[in-house]
Structure 1
Amino acid sequence: MAPYQYTVVVLVFSLLQSGVSGFPTNIRNPVCGYESCPATDPSMLNVHLVPHTHDDVGWLKTVDQYYYGDRNDIQHAGVQYILDSVVQELQKDPARRFIYVESAFFYRWWRQQDQATRRVVTQLVNEGRLEFINGGWCMSDEATTHYSAVIDQMTLGLRFLNDTFGACGRPRVAWHIDPFGHAREHASIFAQMGYDGFFFGRLDYQDKSRRMKAKELELLWRASESLSPPMADLFTGILPNGYNPPDGFCWDQSCSDAPIRDDPYLEDFNVDEMVRKFLETAHSQSKIYKTNHIIMTMGSDFQYENANLWYKNMDKLIRYVNGQQAAGSNVNVLYSTPSCYLQELHRANSTWALKTDDFFPYADDAHDFWTGYFTSRPALKRYERQSNSYLQTCNQLEVLGGPRSRSGPYGKGTSDTLRKAMAVAQHHDAVSGTEKQHVAYDYARRLASGWAYCKVLVRNSLAVLTGSDAPRSFCENLNISVCPLTESSKMFTMNVYNPLAHPVSWSVRLPVNGSAYSVADVQGKAVDSEVIPVPKATKALRGHRGWALNELVFQVEAPPLGYTTYSISLLQNAPPPPPPRPKAPLTIQNKFLKVTFDPATGLLSSLSNLETQQSIKLSQNFYWYNASAGNNEDSIQPSGAYIFRPNCSTPFIISKTAKIQSVQNGVVQEVRQMFSPWLSQVVRLYADSRELELEWTVGPVPIEDALGKEVITRLDTDINTSGYFYTDSNGREVLERRRDYRPTWDLKQSEPIAGNYYPINSRAYIKDKESQLTVVTDRSQGGSSIVDGSLEIMLHRRLLYDDVRGVGEPLNETSEAGGPEGLVVRGRLLLSLTPPDTAADSHRPLAQAQVLQPLLSFQEGPAPASARLEFSGLQAALPPAVHLLTVSQWDYDSVLLRLEHQYESRESKAYSQPVTVNLQKLFSTVEVMGVTEMSLGANQWKSEMSRLVWRPSADAAPQPKQPSDPSPWEITLNPMEIRTFLLRVRQS
């Protein structure tokens, strides 16, 4: 039975049992989707009117304020009233249509409706008159989101629609009408989820101009260089008016356009004028599209609170325009939906221009590049990334710990709250950093609340797996050396849970007040450890939240999808750790890397890989771009939450030298650099690390000079890049970038800095034939290579002007105490130097390890003698090419599993090959009884998934046939392939 059929049967049965009358007779045989589309006329120009609303899941108001219509002093918007009004109006005429997008809002509204309203809505859905488009919990951002979180939020929304409405609730079209640039990986995800097409509203103004002339506003997007076509092929349409109605035809209560006045006895009768204007608009639009079908979006932000205004005027428009056909007009207007429009384009049996790159960066004018939001609100971006790691750990432990994870010794725990909070955080005005400040606080509050519920679940699960109910605490501020238990305890245990399906080696830094400690692993073997003084910058940053004088540093090893335990004890009468040395060493070195410093400046001067005998010149420093206030002669556009616009091409250096302190021992070597009172860095090399860590601390960014600042770090090398650099797409495939160049049009570059910035979600690199320098980030950031051999990454932004894109306030984040001081942000970059042909072997697993980090928990005193100190949820580590993307409880006896091949084709000599995994031999404590493959969105069986096939105007060479699965239990993953399974399981 298909996933949706069970739900529909249960719904029918429950409604009939309750004696509800008037239940739609066609619910068992719904006619929705393409079959419900209205007829068109092949001899005419068919104009598809698409009534819609765009409801941001937080932006100027919080999610709750938008839903209830609160704080209308900020913005008049109330989503619940939109849905109330639309449902009433759809019932008046079966020809009317409406599409809805954001499941987060519809879920809330649906739960508040009585059975009679639900019955009406179900009938509207089953008749295709109310159609869900996109269907994710939100309309996610495409630049600053990680692919794993995007898949999760889409799955959450799609499952709700599937469980509620069955097949008729399944969207067939992706709809990203507002995000500010479009990522290739998003298109690949949509294709793998089974969508037939994708529509969006924003693209670069130069690109749009060229496409209008060439009639290429509709195209075929080949969204992966690794997946065989048409697996990642997605028909893509660019809407003519963004997502707004044509000029003069907005009939919302928020609009000022004239209604259609059709009483011929009135002096201001305007039917003839409105019909003439509409026909002109339709014919003008038809000249830039390829077929005799065009689409018009009839709606905008939070419109249709009074849907009667819209439908009454659109009814008249359709009637009077179509009435002109008797006089020879060839225009046919109809209510429609994006999927019905898409079906007509497919029936045209045409060929479509092929695109293989992405739609970044986005500019809407010569000096207006939307590249600032790649970095805006860096603290929120980091918290969202951490929360993703928390959620995956929570999901995994819910499965591994069994039912007692949800209700155990610590109470009732749930992953649902964090799952929904993370889904909301993917919205294109959330993690993007383009919301008002009070809304940003609300997003963070939701994530914190979700983690609080997950903590209970994690404690319960670890109690089940370890056999110890002793109180367990988590320390979420270790990055600023705060953890009350480790600061005060003389003996404690530390549990290290690893959410990766491969063993992990991780450097731990615990705040302590003792001067020497013993650290032992599960076998009682001593682990090398050192105590070092807490840096001054950290003491200043944490304020009164902690009092540790020192940090205990050591390396841990954790099994795949499991945990291990370390015992830590204070040693008495030990000498204090040596104070930091006041000078920089000329060199820090381990068995893998050698790093040199310029003794005159205290700055990095070279990096060497001792394994491969490579060496590059490497200097690093910090700079700031002076943010435009919008008052120069070229343009009045200022920098803001969305827009990055420096007022000159040369950034200001913060300091040419750094004040230095250094720490060197057998576990870690640190060079602590102070560039200014508001910017410092620790260059850190651990004993067994193949990467160099740069831990930066920026803020409060000074604005006493009345200048907004966009702070970057720049790595300058002698690598011969010739204008090329590389960035990832949502954490997966890597795209080649070229300075002052676009693959699909002749760029006229008007902003040499902002116009060359791209989103860096997890990594970026520069390379030549001999060397590749890869930088792995801990959050989404913007970056570029402005000069050959250079790679720069924007770290922080503090701005004094709004950029006039709607948010209505400058991006001027202040301290958590709410005072005037600017926000201080800390983060880290990991640098890897390798030969280009083996670079992916290291940077891909390194990037995954930054996204899914070990979770540390602590218990006072020694571990109980009966406790299970080590555990792995897998029978064996997965092959290096395979990443375990999802392990999540689906129903009481089923688990959702996603496995992905994490290498691109031809990327790695060692790992870019098909790999096979046996699902029955996967878990150690969960017995797999049955398996069925699903679509990536987990809302349909893979065997039933069918997509429209599109023909490119110029195709590539045919792809080789991919290997098939050896057996139902053994599945083969090809490069960049994600496969999703519903497992029927039994706890062993």
Structure 2
Amino acid sequence: MDTPHICQSVQPLNSAAVTQVKGNDIKLVKNKEKKSEHLNVFVVLHSHVDAGWLNTFDEYYNASEKPVRDIMNNVVNSLRRHQKLKFIWSEASFLEKWWTEANQTYREYFKKLVKEGRLEISTGSWVMADEATPYFWESIENIIVGNQYIQEILNITPTTAWSVDPFGHGLMMPYLLTLSGMTKMVIGRIHYNIKNILRQNHQLHFRWAQLWDSDFHWMPFVNVLPKGYYTVSDACGVNNFICCQFDVATSARSYCRERAKVNTCQEIAIYGERMADQYRSLQTFYNSDSVLVAAGDDFAYSYSSDLEIVYQVQFGTIKDYFDSLRNSSHMINSPILTGDFFPYTDSPYNDTSLWTGFYNHRAYFKRFVRIVQSELRLMDFISVAVAMHPKNDTNIARRNLALSLHHDAITGTSKRYVMDDYTSKLRASLQTILMEQERLLNSESDNNNNNNSFLRVIISNSLKLKGMQLTHRTLTFANGIKRYGIQIVNQKGLLTTELIKLNITNCSVIAKHRGEALTIQLVQFPQETDLFEVTIIKLIYNDGSVNTTFGLNFNKIVDQGGAYIMVAQFPFQDIDNSESMPRVVRGPVYSSIWKRLSDNLAYSLTVINSTDNSARAIQVDVFTDVVSMPGYTFFMNLNTKIENKQKFYTDVNGMYLIQRKYHKTIALEANIYPMTTQAMIEDESLRCSIVAAQSTGVTSTSGTVLLMVDREIYLDDGKGLNSFEAGQSYPSHLKYRIIFESKLHTSDQNDDVLLGTENKTFSRDDSKHNTIYHSQLVQKNLEELLYPAAVFFSANVNLTKFAHSSIALPPLPDNIQLVTARYITQKKVLISLRWLPYDCTERIYLNKTTDMMSKPTETLKTKLAFQNLIRQFFTSLHGSIYESNLSGTKIGDRIITPQSMPLYFVQPLHIVSFIIIKDNA
């Protein structure tokens, strides 16, 4: 089933909701009115508790009205009283707050209910995260933090997933959840017309496959809620006016002309038949004898009487529901869908009310989340490298980062003061993380009798959030300080060449590495005459070049949408201050040009003065301050000569690329897709990639890439935030890189430039799923943006001891990505790795000496080299190696010899996880 074509036959939808179905010849016919004599109805009680939105996370828990504390108490009390009552809970964040203050008796009640299967923990991540904007590492961390806590207190690992409120669903979560052990999931918000088509063809059950997974290894079974929401009035059947009658809880929010009454036998018969008819109406949407009915609402069941009123209905959990389908031919024969559900709209009118504004809304917060993520990952990397568990207070920092992934946090769709609360929590977490980095690094120095005390260097304008800025550390040559030792930590797991920048107060400096003088460049800050920026580069290589031209310009458009929705009003308005003279910086290391376009926008372009691959990328830094320009969305336009014919690629949360298409017949906002880290256009001879250090929205017409940069909104789009609360985007420092790559002609390509394994291969051209991975050069630039080399300094270091000091893990093969390296307990380290199938159709990357697994025809030499690097990496961790799931909650068989590790890389792009139990455990 090719859903884009199906959708366009109804009306020209621009939601690539389903790009392909394999393994089934599905005929789309008018919905069958199939009714069996017996229908299994599983009414799933739930309470949707936002971890911040109109109130802060803490306020929601302690609120005077509908507090989450009361909801959890009511659930435990009612389930104890009524044995047939069941309930599901999805987020670990509120559970942790309740568990912390609950007495031992209530904890035992809770454990007993979970053990009996009457209280199901579904998903169990820290929060119900957004799926459009987080980088996949952040989403993995959200799962790990939540699932590790669930295992700690309940000794279980969730097997089902419940994600009913994110604004569109993507390909990342079904894959990550499957790797974590959750093979069945319920989702809610998908494009109105896409859902209608699936309903008409009874396909609201399907198996969701990855675009690259040709063998369908990682394919959860999915149940889509039948209508727009997860409430009683919207989910029990086709008629809201009847369904609302059964929303009888005291905390019910729905408006209804009447409520069900069951005081007499006659009333029971009348309302019972109405309810049964609505349940039967759902059956044909799923073509199944079992249906799931969501019964809940935002902060539902906060009154003690709520569950007492509804307990007489027959209830189930998500697990109960999927268990009823497990052995049926329906589950086995369900269609296989690939693709995602972006953009999302809850409107039947295709090009209105598109939820694409949040892709870029409050850009400062999206950037800040990515900064904290990088620093947390660095802290974990150092802790594993020095074999020391981080202090317990870093758990709060982890949880605050996970909290920021909530679908009303990273999206920027909460009230102003709630966004400030998220930011404050992240800032405190960042300070904790930086202090722990220093502690771990200095503990290693102490172990080596180094006696050098290192401090973290932070140079970033992007941390100026609402008047808050981290301490700006400058290397001052005074008070007897004659030299500084600079410790550089690379957390990427591969060798890299990067610019290192420091602020100094003396222009007469020499930089050396093991006695060898390094090339440096001094740049004086214009308004601080005593402050210089020094940039160091160590390695220089020779290579070819790309000959092309491009243009970069900025504009804005009137946006009558809100925090969630974009409503663009043409025309675009150019932003260019011709009176502002650009500032040019030239030197032996890099050259850059700075341009102030307006009071709201400035940017710089930087290139490395080298002939190696580090010079292939153009660094773009954009500085925004748009709070004084309400009602506008700002764009960056990259204009090229590439003839991409309206086709372009965006990334699936940084995991791989998926093809999109610009449709001229629908609105601009309907053509915008989430860009978590990358967008790309190409033709037969040239490719242009843009990688970003923060998420945004993107689209492309022929030869042009349009990126949302920032927006300031003052209107109410009717989705929950009023006109005052929707705006206020603080100043941002946004980072991008542009990479042009010449493509090999077909005659120049090797026959084995494929994505595949030793036994089975597939190429870009013979697959129809329109997905690719980028080159090694693009991967290098992306990781440098996401995980820049960290700099620590120490004054008057002991040169003899310092020369042999370093913090690192052995490098991995170039195409094995270090995804996760962190302690999960005092003695257990979780390692996750991913095989990257670099696209070798680009002329500038043909590094056959280091690319050890991109081709199925491996030589014995490359196999041995690969095995040796893997062996060295795992041997350095000093422990026993075991198979693991993604979240580290399930430990499998022990791996006796590291030499067998390559056997676990069975598919390109697949993530494999291991637990290391330290030898001194």
2:631–2:712 contact (8 Å) kept in structure 1 = yes
Tell me the equivalent position of 2:907: 974
Give ranges in structure 1 of 5+ residues lacking alignment: 1-40, 319-333, 407-411, 540-545, 558-589, 593-609, 629-638, 742-748, 815-821, 945-963
1:385 is displaced (CA, Å) by 0.6
Tell me the equivalent position of 1:444: 423
Paired residues for 1:534-549 under 5 Å:
534=525, 549=531
Alignment partner for residue 112 of structure 2, among 113, 119, 123?
A: 123
**Deviation string, structure 1 residues 404-432 (Cα, Å, up to 9, x no partner):** x65xxxxx674312211111111111111
Tell me the equivalent position of 1:433: 412
1:965–1:971 contact (8 Å) kept in structure 2 = no
Q: How far apart in 2 are the matches of 1:433 and 1:891?
A: 33
2:604–2:621 contact (8 Å) kept in structure 1 = yes
For the residue of structure 2 that corresponds to 1:300, the secondary structure is: strand
Tell me the equivalent position of 2:319: 339
Tell me the equivalent position of 1:401: 386
1:483 is displaced (CA, Å) by 6.5
Q: How far apart in 1 are the matches of 2:911 and 2:453?
A: 39
Q: How far apart in 1 are the matches of 2:510 and 2:898?
A: 50
Q: How far apart in 1 are the matches of 2:541 and 2:588?
A: 12
Give the partner amino acid of 1:105: F
Which 10-residue stretch deviates more, 679-688 or 138-147? Answer: 679-688
2:442–2:454 contact (8 Å) kept in structure 1 = no
The two structures have a TM-score, normalised by structure 1, of 0.77
2:617–2:781 contact (8 Å) kept in structure 1 = no
When residues 484 and 297 of structure 1 are mapped into structure 2, their CA distance, relative to the original with a 3 A threshold, is closer
Give the partner amino acid of 1:308: S
1:240 is displaced (CA, Å) by 1.7
1:692–1:831 contact (8 Å) kept in structure 2 = yes
Tell me the equivalent position of 2:871: 921
Tell me the equivalent position of 2:709: 795
Q: How far apart in 2 are the matches of 1:359 and 1:865?
A: 58
For the residue of structure 2 that corresponds to 1:104, the secondary structure is: helix
1:670–1:683 contact (8 Å) kept in structure 2 = yes
Paired residues for 1:238-277 under 5 Å:
238-241=224-227, 242-246=229-233, 247-248=243-244, 249-255=246-252, 258-264=258-264, 270-277=267-274
Answer yes or no: is 1:170 the counterpart of 2:157.
Answer: yes
Answer yes or no: is 1:554 the counterpart of 2:542.
Answer: no
- How well do the aligned residues superpose, as a CA RMSD in angstroms? 2.9
Tell me the equivalent position of 2:517: 526
Tell me the equivalent position of 2:730: 823
For the residue of structure 2 that corresponds to 1:111, the secondary structure is: helix
Alignment partner for residue 286 of structure 1, among 264, 283, 286?
A: 283
Paired residues for 1:49-88 under 5 Å:
49-69=43-63, 72=64, 76-88=65-77
Give the partner amino acid of 1:234: P
**Deviation string, structure 1 residues 456-493 (Cα, Å, up to 9, x no partner):** 32222211333444443334343479865426335433
When residues 927 and 487 of structure 1 are mapped into structure 2, their CA distance, relative to the original with a 3 A threshold, is closer
Q: How far apart in 1 are the matches of 2:490 and 2:693?
A: 17
Give the partner amino acid of 1:758: Y
Tell me the equivalent position of 1:881: 815
Q: How far apart in 2 are the matches of 1:338 and 1:731?
A: 30
Alignment partner for residue 356 of structure 1, among 338, 343, 348?
A: 338
When residues 647 and 828 of structure 1 are mapped into structure 2, their CA distance, relative to the original with a 3 A threshold, is same
Q: How far apart in 2 are the matches of 1:303 and 1:869?
A: 60
1:970 is displaced (CA, Å) by 7.0
Tell me the equivalent position of 1:832: 739
Answer yes or no: is 1:767 the counterpart of 2:682.
Answer: yes
Tell me the equivalent position of 1:642: 564
For the residue of structure 2 that corresponds to 1:626, the secondary structure is: strand
1:900–1:973 contact (8 Å) kept in structure 2 = no
**Deviation string, structure 1 residues 166-212 (Cα, Å, up to 9, x no partner):** 2xx32211111000011112211112222221211101111011111
For the residue of structure 2 that corresponds to 1:158, the secondary structure is: helix
**Deviation string, structure 1 residues 389-412 (Cα, Å, up to 9, x no partner):** 111111122223234x65xxxxx6
**Deviation string, structure 1 residues 104-142 (Cα, Å, up to 9, x no partner):** 111221122222212221111111000111110111110
Which 10-residue stretch deviates more, 918-927 or 788-797? Answer: 918-927
When residues 480 and 309 of structure 1 are mapped into structure 2, their CA distance, relative to the original with a 3 A threshold, is closer
1:222–1:229 contact (8 Å) kept in structure 2 = no
The two structures have a TM-score, normalised by structure 2, of 0.82
When residues 918 and 912 of structure 1 are mapped into structure 2, their CA distance, relative to the original with a 3 A threshold, is same
Q: How far apart in 2 are the matches of 1:778 and 1:809?
A: 29
1:740 is displaced (CA, Å) by 2.3
Tell me the equivalent position of 1:679: 601
Alignment partner for residue 97 of structure 1, among 86, 92, 106?
A: 86
Q: How far apart in 2 are the matches of 1:224 and 1:188?
A: 11
**Deviation string, structure 1 residues 870-907 (Cα, Å, up to 9, x no partner):** 42533x42111101111112333321111111336888
Q: How far apart in 2 are the matches of 1:525 and 1:418?
A: 40
Give the partner amino acid of 1:840: S
Q: How far apart in 2 are the matches of 1:844 and 1:354?
A: 30
When residues 779 and 56 of structure 1 are mapped into structure 2, their CA distance, relative to the original with a 3 A threshold, is same
When residues 889 and 975 of structure 1 are mapped into structure 2, their CA distance, relative to the original with a 3 A threshold, is same
When residues 986 and 43 of structure 1 are mapped into structure 2, their CA distance, relative to the original with a 3 A threshold, is same
Q: How far apart in 2 are the matches of 1:736 and 1:101?
A: 32
1:146 is displaced (CA, Å) by 0.9
Alignment partner for residue 866 of structure 1, among 777, 791, 801?
A: 801
Q: How far apart in 2 are the matches of 1:452 and 1:431?
A: 20
1:449 is displaced (CA, Å) by 2.0
2:91–2:128 contact (8 Å) kept in structure 1 = yes
Alignment partner for residue 380 of structure 1, among 362, 365, 372?
A: 365
Q: How far apart in 2 are the matches of 1:924 and 1:262?
A: 65
2:829–2:916 contact (8 Å) kept in structure 1 = yes
Q: How many residues are treated as equivalent by the alignment? A: 804
1:214 is displaced (CA, Å) by 0.9
Tell me the equivalent position of 2:191: 204
Give the partner amino acid of 2:220: L
2:714–2:727 contact (8 Å) kept in structure 1 = no
1:591 is displaced (CA, Å) by 8.8
Q: How far apart in 1 are the matches of 2:202 and 2:530?
A: 65
Give ranges in structure 2 of 5+ residues lacking alignment: 1-34, 234-242, 464-469, 745-752, 754-773, 857-862
Tell me the equivalent position of 1:912: 854
Tell me the equivalent position of 2:219: 233
For the residue of structure 1 that corresponds to 2:819, the secondary structure is: strand
1:514 is displaced (CA, Å) by 3.2
Q: How far apart in 1 are the matches of 2:379 and 2:529?
A: 30
2:882–2:893 contact (8 Å) kept in structure 1 = no
**Deviation string, structure 1 residues 699-745 (Cα, Å, up to 9, x no partner):** 24543xxx51100100111100011000101111110111129xxxx
Paired residues for 1:268-667 under 5 Å:
270-315=267-312, 318=313, 334-350=314-330, 351-365=333-347, 366=349, 367-403=352-388, 406=390, 414-467=393-446, 468-479=450-461, 484-486=472-474, 488-489=476-477, 491-521=483-513, 523-534=514-525, 549-555=531-537, 611-612=544-545, 614-628=546-560, 639-648=561-570, 650-655=571-576, 657=578, 659-667=581-589
Give the partner amino acid of 1:730: N
For the residue of structure 2 that corresponds to 1:360, the secondary structure is: coil
Q: How far apart in 2 are the matches of 1:548 and 1:140?
A: 46
Q: How far apart in 1 are the matches of 2:218 and 2:534?
A: 48
Which 10-residue stretch deviates more, 449-458 or 836-845? Answer: 836-845
1:925 is displaced (CA, Å) by 8.7
Give the partner amino acid of 1:682: S
1:694 is displaced (CA, Å) by 1.1
Alignment partner for residue 45 of structure 1, among 39, 47, 64?
A: 39
Q: How far apart in 2 are the matches of 1:243 and 1:848?
A: 38
1:554 is displaced (CA, Å) by 2.1
Q: How far apart in 2 are the matches of 1:858 and 1:498?
A: 15
